[in-house]
Amino acid sequence: MNRPRPITIVGGGLAGLTLGIGLRRQSIPVVLWEQGHYPRHRVCGEFISGHGQETLKRLGLLELLLEAGARPAYTAAFFAKQRSFPAHPLPQPALCISRFNLDEALAEQFKQSGGELHCGTRAPSTPAEGTVRSTGRRAEPEADAEGWRWFGLKAHAHRIALHADLEMHTRADGYVGLCRLEDGKTNVCGLFRRKKGEAVSAFGITQRLRGESGSILHQRLEAAEFEEASSCAVGGLSLHPRRAIDSGECCIGDSVTMIAPVTGNGMSMAFESAELAVAPLAAYARGEIEWQTARQTVARECDRTFAKRLWWADRLQRMLFWQSTQAWVLGLALRWETSWRFLFWATR
């Protein structure tokens, strides 16, 4: 019997590591290249909400997350400056975990499964065939169609008393999400925008995350003690939905497209896209199909699975950033349980 062809994965985030583990469990040789090192902090909401947990169960990884400190989240609450909305139970509990712990646990699992992991270096120039791109977001150096530049900030903090397991605080220039983590920590993660040509604020990461004076967010974080080592930022975010089939490469996770962060579905999509790619790539590795067929199958499955939620997420994000509709949208979504459940379903 011929030895399977190897699969090369460029990028060792959630999607890349999960794909590598899935392929190794089918005895496919995998080489994974990651520029950074583990453990590391990443700008991320740090909770899994939606089909991602089902994916983790099927891949046999749910227990790994629980051992790494994942904890459930049952409620969510929204706030707009000085206005608060009642907390709602999540139609399906989310799973909260620090990327600092999660990425390291997945990397160790990949190595234990026999995968070849190279950290701290770029992948060598290789032919496109057999190579999967999982390098995270596609950078957007220019402003979007409305003239905005998007960037994300994140830090962990102690001494924060939340009213719900997940909180979302909207503001004129973005929003900040709070998420309970292991060891009494809270993940404070925000998405912000500025106009092209607008001066960059002199505020540091934690200062900007604290919110405007007088806001509920500022009050919530007034006594917070931030872990400076956990502070990180990312710029050039592209929030315009893209189709995987339009790419000439085999891509998974945020390398395909980035869902609007307000949905909290990014981690789930990373795991889901990895699972969708396992079978076609394993078939290619065994010589059952050609590379072009494998790549197109992965792309079509990702587009089919994510098209609806990307469409709804894009419109929800736009409405939340229109000041004239922000309070109306939140009020409509949170006043009736039916509306809340529909938006939860539509963006997952």
- pLDDT tens digits, one per residue of 161-208: 999 999 999 887 889 999 999 888 999 999 998 876 665 554 688 988
pLDDT value of residue 115? 97
Helices 291-321 and 323-335 cross at an angle (nearest 10°) of: 100
pLDDT of the residue at 290: 97
Report if residue 287 sits inside a domain: yes
Whether residue 237 lies inside any domain: the answer is no
229, burial (CB in 10 Å: exposed 0-12, middle 13-18, buried 19+)? exposed
pTM over 0.85? The answer is: yes
The residue with greater pLDDT, 188 or 244, is 188
Specify the CATH number for the domain of residue 278: 3.50.50.60
Whether 324 has a pLDDT exceeding 90, the answer reads no
Residue 11 lies in a domain: yes
Give the least confident one: 205-214, 232-241, 251-260.
Answer: 232-241
Residue 107 lies in a domain: yes
pLDDT band at 297 (very low <50, low <70, confident <90, very high): very high
With a pLDDT cut of 70, the percent of the chain lying above it is 89
Q: What is the mean pLDDT of the chain?
A: 88
Number of domains the chain contains = 1
Average pLDDT of 274-290?
97
pLDDT of residue 101: 95
Structural domain contains residue 248: yes
The winner for highest mean pLDDT among 59-73, 202-216, 257-271 is 59-73
- The range of the structural domain enclosing residue 290 comes to 7-49+99-138+243-346
Give the pLDDT mean for 77-92.
85
- Asked if pLDDT for residue 143 goes beyond 60, the answer is no
What is the structure's pLDDT at 201? 57
Q: What's the residue count for the chain?
A: 348
What phi and psi, each to the nearest 5 degrees, are found at residue 159? 60, 50
The answer to whether 46 and 181 have CB atoms below 8 angstroms apart is yes
Distance of CA 194 to the CA centre of its chain: 22
The pLDDT assigned to 334 comes to: 63
pLDDT at 199: 55
In a domain, 69, yes or no: no
Q: Is residue 334 part of a domain?
A: yes
Categorize the per-residue pLDDT at 237 as very low, low, confident or very high, splitting at 50, 70 and 90.
Answer: confident
**Residue 198's pLDDT is what?**
61
**21: CB partners within 8 A, 6+ apart:** 59, 61, 106, 109, 110, 113, 115
The pLDDT assigned to 40 comes to 94
pLDDT on residue 224: 95
For 9-52, how does the pLDDT look when each residue is reduced to its tens digit (9 = 90+)?
Answer: 999 999 999 999 999 999 999 999 999 999 999 999 999 998 98
Residue 59 lies in a domain: no
Question: What residues have CB less than 8 Å from 215, skipping those under 6 apart?
Answer: 81, 82, 169, 171
